[in-house]
Structure 1
Amino acid sequence: MMKTMLYALAALVLPVTTASAHDVAKGELVYETKGARVTEVYAHVLPDNPGKSVKGVLVEYEPGGYSSAHTHAKSALIYATVLEGAILSGVNGGEVKTFTKGMNFTELPGDRHDVSANASKTEPAKLLAVFVVDTDDKVLTTPRKP
């Protein structure tokens, strides 16, 4: 648990790279979830920034697992770091990119996350997503409809 919290704190100060992307396999959006476990592992109100909080979310994918296409809370700025394996990510209809252990990407408020999936059919994958959000935002992820 302490290691995960340290990852969340480190993510706030590490350099950020952005990624754009689009689909898992053949340019189609994914609207279901399979083999994915999402756990909030950290939450803290930001001092001297009324109404804002930082929340750490651990996303664990089984081999071949994926999350449905989704959006996040409208206030959410997200910094994600791959902790294990490789993750396919696609945002706003752009190119799908593969991020491996230690790599990171950012999602901005209003972005559409079209693809979030384990790149491997045989190995698990894990990422830590650090959200900076309005403290009142309780629903961090909303599946998109086709």
Structure 2
Amino acid sequence: MYARSTIGTAIAALALLAAFPVAAHGPAETVTPHFEKGIPNIPGKTLKAVIVEYPPAGESIPHKHADSSFIFAYVLSGEIESKVNDEPAKIYRAGESWYEPPASQHLVSRNASKTKPASLLAVFVLDSDEKTLTAPIK
């Protein structure tokens, strides 16, 4: 009986530890590809656009962008808190925008509201052979 109790406690503790990294972040964002087209007068460059939707309290994990990508971000709805590279975190409201230079690290990207959804349009200009727009920061 004691062995079962100890094993059960150990399994519960391992389950909590395994879940902890997920619990440290809010709900994940949804990223939907919206547009992609090679830029005819700039050989080797492509324009890609995605819509990022955050549920209330939603956020992205810290990530970096493709080394060649220049990004324009425009808030479609709600309020988005963003921190890129060494810049201070800032809250952007619907209708506001910012840019991210190539090889940026996006350390904070989240819905500033815990009760309302938020969304943004991210437009990337990047090398046409880049396949991954973002990657987690290790």
Normalised by the shorter chain, which TM-score bucket?
Answer: 0.7 to 0.9
- 2:92 pairs, out of 81, 91, 99, with 99
In structure 2, what is the equivalent of residue 64 of structure 1? Answer: 57
Find the aligned partners of 1:48 and 1:95 in 2 and give their Cα distance.
35
The CA distance in 2 between the partners of 1:88 and 1:95, in whole Å, is 10
By relative contact order (CA 8 Å, sep 6+), the higher-ranking structure is 1
The reply to whether residue 132 of structure 1 matches residue 97 of structure 2 is no
Tell me if the contact between 2:56 and 2:118 (Cα under 8 Å) persists in the aligned partners.
yes
Q: Which residue of 2 aligns with 1:16?
A: none
Q: Kindly indicate which of the two structures has a greater share of residues assigned to helix.
A: 2
Gaps of 5+ in 1: 1-30
Assess, with a 3 A threshold, how the Cα gap between structure 1 residues 33 and 93 changes in structure 2: closer, same or farther: farther
Q: 1:38 aligns with which of 31, 44, 58?
A: 31
| CA RMSD between the two structures | 1.3
Matched to 1:108, the amino acid is P
Q: Percent identity?
A: 47
TM-score, length basis structure 2? 0.80
List alignment gaps of at least 5 residues for structure 2: 1-23
Mapped to 1, the partners of 2:79 and 2:32 lie a distance apart of 19
Do the aligned partners of 1:86 and 1:119 also contact (CA within 8 Å) in 2? Answer: yes
- Match in the other structure for 1:54: 47
Count of matched residue positions in the alignment of Structure 1 and Structure 2: 115
How many Å separate the matches in 2 of 1:33 and 1:140? 22
Out of 109, 122, 139, the residue aligned to residue 115 of structure 2 is 122
Instruction: Describe the SS at the equivalent of 1:98.
Output: strand
TM-score (norm 1): 0.76
Instruction: Evaluate the alpha carbon distance shift between residue 72 and residue 61 of structure 1 in structure 2; reply closer, same or farther with a 3 A threshold.
Output: same
Q: Secondary structure at the match of 2:57?
A: strand
Q: List 4+ stretches of structure 1 deviating above 4 A.
A: none
How far has the Cα of 1:32 moved from its partner?
Answer: 5.5
**SS of the counterpart of 2:102?**
coil
Deviation at 1:95, TM superposition (A): 1.1
Structure 2 SS opposite 1:63: coil
Secondary structure at 2:103 match in 1: coil
